[in-house]
Amino acid sequence: MRHYRAVTIDDVPALAALMSRAFDPRYGEGWNGSQLLGTLAMSGTRAEMAIADGAPAGFALTRLAAEDCELLLIAVDPLRSGQGIGTELLRRSIDLAKRAHVRRMFLEVRTGNSAARGLYERHGFICVGQRKDYYVGENHLRYDAMTMAVTL
């Protein structure tokens, strides 16, 4: 059984642990608990968590600003991969943005992350730009990102 709820400050340690499992440190895409906590404190920021079998299974973090919404992060526990959690978190984030009368949603995704790019493209996101050396991974290796957007 899976359900969704808003993230609270008390969830940050569990979500930081989830991110350490969900993101390969080679690429520098994951955040730490301090980054997550600081972002949650910002105006317009919202995070929603998927819970399966009583444990965090994934979460999405968005930030609303006027008519735009930025999808900052989606993380899914790798043990729950392939169960539709990322798709549902993205769908719910888009629905939230629509209810807030947002016109566009943006995100960055590592150019080589074909699974994430495919998810976003299936939901209407298109590439609108590139960010060179956006991610800094292990050994200071840098990776480009695509900026993607969808009109809602």
Q: Which two tokens stand for residue 2?
A: 């899976």
Domain around 97: 2-151
| Tally of structural domains, the chain | 1
What single letter denotes the amino acid at residue 74?
A: I
- What is the widest separation between alpha-carbon atoms in the chain? 42
pTM, to two decimals: 0.94
Q: Give the pair of three-digit tokens for residue 63.
A: 């930030």
CATH of the domain at 128: 3.40.630.30
Q: What is the pLDDT of residues 3-16, one digit of tens each?
A: 999 999 999 999 99
Q: What is the pLDDT of residue 1?
A: 80
The band of 97, judged by pLDDT with boundaries at 50, 70 and 90, is: very high
Given a contact cutoff of 8 angstroms between Cβ atoms, the answer to whether 25 and 137 are in contact is yes
The model's pLDDT over 118-151, given as tens digits with 9 standing for 90+, comes to 999 999 999 999 999 999 999 899 999 999 999 9
What pLDDT digit, counting tens, does each position of 54-71 carry? 999 999 999 999 899 999
